Amino acid sequence: MRYCLIFIVCLLPLVTQAQVEKPMTWDSLLGLVLQHHPVALQAEYVQQSGEQGVRRARGAFDPQLFGYYDQKQFKDTDYYRLLDAGLKVPTWFGVELKTGFEQNQGVYVNPEATTPTDGLLYAGISLPLAQGLLMDDRRASLRQAQLMEKMTEAEQLLMLNRLVEQIAIDYYAWWEAYYQRKVYEEALALAKVRLEAIRAGFLQGDRPAIDTVEAYLQWQTRLVAWNEAQLKWTKTSLTLSNHLWYDGLVPMELEESTFPRVSIQAEAPMQMTEDSLLMFRKEIIQNHPELQQYQWKIEQLGFEQRLKAEKLKPKVNLSYNFLSERTGVPLAENVGAFNSNDYKWGLTVSMPLLLREGRGDWQITKLKVKEAQADRMQKWVSIENKWLSAYAETQTLYRQAGIYSQALSNYQQLLNAENRRLEIGESNLFMVNAREMSLISAQIQWAKVRSQYEVSRIQWICASGRATEYLP
């Protein structure tokens, strides 16, 4: 029941019992596919994956509780009991805030680790003065994850683009097969009527027997063509059914009573002046998701290059902690007892002498950036040429469809004239059949060009990389 309601709302010819002819437009099919197709759902999952990657990278800046306890008891001697617990808060600027409680007791506690009986409170910072001051692993990972999120959004658009393009190919192939079947169905019915009429004329003595043979051959020929068209219709229907799903989980099928609805008059393609064409090309280059992916990849490598450059600096880390003796009063009052006379600080410095590893990593990343820039430029040219090619093809096919539409009218006039000549005895069955076959051939060719035009028009839109924004 739930599925039936969905079909009624969407006006889509899916599995029902009533065998009433139901039209399926391109817009209705596209709306259903983009809502329920597994690829559309996968595109959403890709975007969600990018969002979770950012969340994961932000985890490096999460406050962290820590604790350490170590005790040794041997032969009734309390060697030591060491306790250190607290909270670390990393910040975006590389500074790490730290506070905690330390309590060390026992006979053999190292004198420098000795604390008051009630323990020792401390609070301070750890600060990198050279390597890690401007960029560190945490900041680089977060920036790269944020760019990866944008890349997944672009990948989502590309996945939907490819899906829309494939749907267009399959839908208009289905429409072309449907139109051809209708043409051959009408031609077959006409040949059947003519055959019966000629048989009747033969029985009455008005027609020679050879005319019945010719009429029968015409009917057989059109029957073969109709069977082939019927097979093509069946195959294209099954191919289109591959795109029909419910929630990406339940496959649907087209009914035989479902047929495509396409306007006979082709929608005129967008006409552009040289200025508007140039402007639109610039817009595509700036906003095309595939080019944006390359750009964000270059920016990712830029953060990696900055991180590698930081590795060339010496490690100089400063730590400073205020100290306060625990006095047994509430913790908040102990925190207020910190003063500048009680402290602990330290400075660590290290640096490799030749820096070969750091310089090698930096040069490798630099080469990766150049390689990505070259790939982006190549893709830029490829996308631009593909878009221009699709634009030129669309314009040409539109003109071709108009020419074939006019030709159909002319072929129909010739056939009508030949039928009138046949009625007054100035023509014969062979000429009428030749006129009909010319008209049928023109109808089939028109449907082919008309289908190619619609596919080309949608491919031109898809070449912009944002089909879902320009299509209904």
- Report the distance separating Cα 464 and Cα 274, nearest Å: 17
The answer to whether the CB of 83 falls within 8 A of the CB of 68 is yes
The pLDDT value recorded for residue 89 is: 93
Q: Which helix (H) or strand (E) holds 140?
A: helix 137-203
Q: What is the mean pLDDT of residues 51-65?
A: 90
The pLDDT value recorded for residue 255 is: 78
Cα of 40 vs its chain's centroid, Å: 8
122: burial class by Cβ within 10 Å (0-12, 13-18, 19+)? buried
Among the residues of 59-136, which ranges form H helices?
none
235-238 contacts at long range (C-beta below 8 A, 24 or more positions apart): 235/177, 236/170, 236/173, 236/174, 236/176, 236/177, 237/174, 237/177
The answer to whether the CB of 118 falls within 8 A of the CB of 105 is no
Where is average pLDDT lowest: 5-14, 222-231, 360-369, 434-443? 5-14
Residue 98's pLDDT band, with cuts at 50, 70 and 90, is: very high
Q: What is the mean pLDDT of residues 163-183?
A: 92
- Report the distance separating Cα 161 and Cα 458, nearest Å: 10
Q: Is the pLDDT of residue 16 over 60?
A: no
Secondary structure E strands in 384-470: none
Please name the amino acid found at residue 267: E
Q: What is the mean pLDDT of residues 61-75?
A: 91
The pLDDT value recorded for residue 4 is: 35
Q: Which tokens go with 15?
A: 């599995």
The pLDDT value recorded for residue 471 is: 66
Pairing of strands 77-90, 96-105: antiparallel
Q: Which tokens go with 127?
A: 């600060």
Domains and CATH numbers, the chain: 24-56+140-299+369-470 (1.20.1600.10), 62-135+313-355 (no CATH)
End-to-end CA distance of the chain: 28
Q: Which tokens go with 226?
A: 């109709």
Q: Which tokens go with 301?
A: 């490598």
Q: Which tokens go with 302?
A: 């830029």
Under DSSP, is residue 258 helix (H, G, I), strand (E, B) or coil?
A: strand
Q: What is the mean pLDDT of residues 162-191?
A: 92
Q: Is the pLDDT of residue 1 over 50?
A: no
pLDDT tens digits for range 283-307: 777 788 888 899 999 999 999 999 8
Q: What is the mean pLDDT of residues 40-48?
A: 84
Where is average pLDDT lowest: 89-93, 187-191, 256-260? 256-260
Per-chain mean pLDDT for the chain: 84
- Report the distance separating Cα 432 and Cα 198, nearest Å: 14
* pTM > 0.85: yes or no: no
- Report the distance separating Cα 213 and Cα 429, nearest Å: 11
Residue 336's pLDDT band, with cuts at 50, 70 and 90, is: low
Q: What is the mean pLDDT of residues 52-68?
A: 90
pLDDT tens digits for range 182-240: 999 999 998 898 888 888 877 887 777 887 888 888 889 999 999 999 999 999 999 99
